[in-house]
């Protein structure tokens, strides 16, 4: 079992899992242990808002309970920082789910292998059809997702999806189970450039509780996925904590920011991205479990922004149109549109598999584009040129 003074995996590494001998998990866990959300006061937050280059201490203050009374001040600053770095551009993309088979048992996820849902995996022809239908909306940025199954969505299958996407799209991101660096290298050569892995929670105990079985139970292997992706030649790495799993969401938000921070310091060329998920209703989920409010989510997004002004921030379709439009006007820089979380949902190909979660924003590409223009923002359909293959 892998462990250090600061953390411990809940089970042994699987034989296929690559160990890259990195110290970033140690660093994040140590930083996380020192973070005491209750120890910050209004002055710390004010200092963080006006800091030239907010550091980890400022980031911590911005996430603390001392920050919400200053939310409007933080928003003004976050908006300015976003505009300085991104102008009024907002990137548009859509997710494409190609398979919902999964061998994990995440207690919060509709894809868990313990759930009896309609399972499906798109064939190459169906994928082509889905992609054609997405490309017809004008989008050139796609995020490919699969459930975490090495059996039903093996590396070859994912590579096939990426290669097909490369014909239709200029920017390809993948959100699949964690891979070894060579596997990421292979998918990069197929055409993928961005890898996102949700860590879900950074607390080993909470992590073990929510992930009772499957390879995902090995926390350290998942944690080091972004670094392996960069070693494999990927250009960008995406980070996320699923806020609401851990008792104190602030701690997970802090660890997630520090995870990205240490990766960026070690790989200064890496393009950093944050996603902002929180626990939302899914089948078998109780409404009173919702512990993270929109206000909390916005506070987190703005703290990421001030801490890493250059990072891309994506806001989930799980949030309402009003919230998404509001946050994109402050600090989010990427927004999905025309989303479908069902397998085959973009083109209504046969044997539709069930979705991972409920969508709150079902607006089409055109509707999202119009909403952005109304806010004085510039929708960006293409912002990537493949230059290294």
Partner 1 sequence: MSDDLIIGNKRFKSRFILGSGKFSLEMTEKVIRNGGVEIATLAVRRVNKGGRENILDYMPEGITLLPNTSGARNAEEALTIARLARELGCGDMIKIEIVRDTRYLLPDNEETIKAIGLLADDGFTALPYMMPDLTAARKMEKAGAAAIMPLAAPIGSNRGLLTKDFISMIIGETDLPVIVDAGIGRPSQACEAMEMGCAAVMANTAVATASDVGAMASAFRMAIEAGRTAYLAGLGRVLSGRGEASSPLTGFLGE
Where along the sequence are the contacts to partner 1 (CB under 8 A)? 80, 83-89, 138, 140, 264, 268-272, 308, 310, 369, 373, 376-385, 387-388
What size, in residues, is the chain?
Answer: 389
Pick the closest to residue 108 from 223, 238, 245 (CA basis). Answer: 245
In the complex, the smallest distance separating the C-beta of residue 291 from partner 1, rounded to whole angstroms, is 33
143 or 377, CB closer to partner 1? 377
Q: What is the 3-state secondary structure (H, E, C) of 45-57?
A: HHHHHHCCCCCHH
Residue identified by tokens 């907002």 is: 90
Rounded to 5 degrees, what angle do the CA atoms 256, 89, 87 make? 90
In the three-class reduction of DSSP (H, G, I as helix; E, B as strand; rest coil), residue 378 is classed as: strand
In the complex, the smallest distance separating the C-beta of residue 257 from partner 1, rounded to whole angstroms, is 14
Give Cα 218 to chain centroid, integer Å.
Answer: 19
Q: State how far the alpha carbon of 131 is from the alpha carbons of 120, 162, 293, 323, 329, in Å.
A: 17, 11, 35, 28, 29
In the complex, the smallest distance separating the C-beta of residue 101 from partner 1, rounded to whole angstroms, is 34
Q: State how far the alpha carbon of 155 is from the alpha carbons of 183, 195, 202, 340, in Å.
A: 7, 14, 27, 23
In the complex, the smallest distance separating the C-beta of residue 386 from partner 1, rounded to whole angstroms, is 9
In the three-class reduction of DSSP (H, G, I as helix; E, B as strand; rest coil), residue 323 is classed as: helix
Write the CB contacts of 249 (distance below 8 Å, at least 6 apart in sequence).
241, 243, 278, 291, 292, 296, 300
In the complex, the smallest distance separating the C-beta of residue 223 from partner 1, rounded to whole angstroms, is 21
In the complex, the smallest distance separating the C-beta of residue 188 from partner 1, rounded to whole angstroms, is 13
37 or 236, CB closer to partner 1? 236
Pair of tokens at residue 263: 């990766």
In the complex, the smallest distance separating the C-beta of residue 314 from partner 1, rounded to whole angstroms, is 16
CB atoms within 10 A of CB 80: 12
Give the Cα separation of 204 and 9 in Å (integer).
7
In the complex, the smallest distance separating the C-beta of residue 23 from partner 1, rounded to whole angstroms, is 21
Pair of tokens at residue 156: 């070859």
Q: State how far the alpha carbon of 149 is from the alpha carbons of 72, 100, 120, 348, in Å.
A: 43, 8, 12, 23
- For CA atoms 308, 311, 314, 320, the dihedral sign is positive
In the complex, the smallest distance separating the C-beta of residue 87 from partner 1, rounded to whole angstroms, is 2
In the complex, the smallest distance separating the C-beta of residue 52 from partner 1, rounded to whole angstroms, is 10
12 or 132, CB closer to partner 1? 132
Q: List phi, psi (to 5°) of 175.
A: -130, 85
């Amino acid at each position: 079992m892998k462990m250090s003074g600061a953390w411990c995996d809940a089970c042994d590494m699987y034989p296929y899992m690559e160990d890259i001998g990195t110290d970033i998990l140690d660093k994040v866990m140590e930083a996380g242990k020192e973070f005491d959300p209750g120890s910050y006061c209004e002055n710390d937050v004010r200092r963080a808002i006006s800091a030239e280059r907010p550091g980890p201490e400022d980031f911590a203050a911005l996430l603390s309970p001392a920050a919400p009374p200053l939310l409007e001040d933080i928003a003004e600053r976050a908006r300015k920082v976003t505009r300085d770095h991104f102008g009024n551009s907002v990137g548009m993309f859509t997710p494409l789910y190609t398979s919902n088979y999964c061998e994990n048992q995440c207690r919060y996820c509709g894809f868990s292998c313990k759930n009896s849902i309609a399972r499906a995996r798109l064939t190459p022809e169906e994928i082509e059809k889905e992609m054609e239908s997405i490309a017809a909306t004008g989008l050139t940025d796609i995020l490919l997702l699969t459930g975490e199954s090495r059996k039903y969505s093996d590396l070859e299958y994912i590579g096939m999806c990426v290669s097909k996407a490369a014909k239709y799209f200029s920017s390809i991101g993948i959100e699949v189970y964690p891979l070894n660096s060579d596997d990421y290298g292979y998918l990069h050569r197929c055409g993928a450039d961005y890898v996102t892995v949700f860590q879900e929670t950074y607390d080993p105990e909470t992590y073990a509780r929510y992930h009772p079985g499957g390879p995902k139970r090995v926390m350290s292997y998942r944690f080091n996925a972004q670094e392996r992706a960069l070693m494999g030649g990927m250009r960008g790495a995406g980070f996320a904590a699923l806020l609401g799993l851990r008792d104190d969401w602030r701690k997970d938000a802090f660890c997630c920011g520090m995870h990205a921070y240490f990766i960026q310091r070690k790989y200064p060329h890496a393009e950093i991205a944050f996603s902002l998920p929180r626990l939302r209703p899914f089948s078998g989920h109780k409404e009173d479990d919702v512990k993270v409010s929109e206000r909390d989510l916005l506070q987190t997004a703005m703290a990421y922004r001030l801490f890493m002004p250059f990072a891309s921030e994506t806001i989930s379709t799980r949030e309402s149109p009003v919230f998404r439009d509001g946050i994109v006007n402050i600090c989010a820089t990427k927004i999905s549109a025309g989303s479908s979380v069902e397998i085959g949902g973009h083109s209504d190909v046969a044997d539709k598999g069930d979705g991972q979660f409920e969508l709150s924003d079902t607006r089409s590409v055109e509707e999202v584009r119009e909403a952005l223009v109304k806010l004085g923002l510039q929708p960006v359909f293409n912002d990537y040129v493949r230059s290294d293959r």
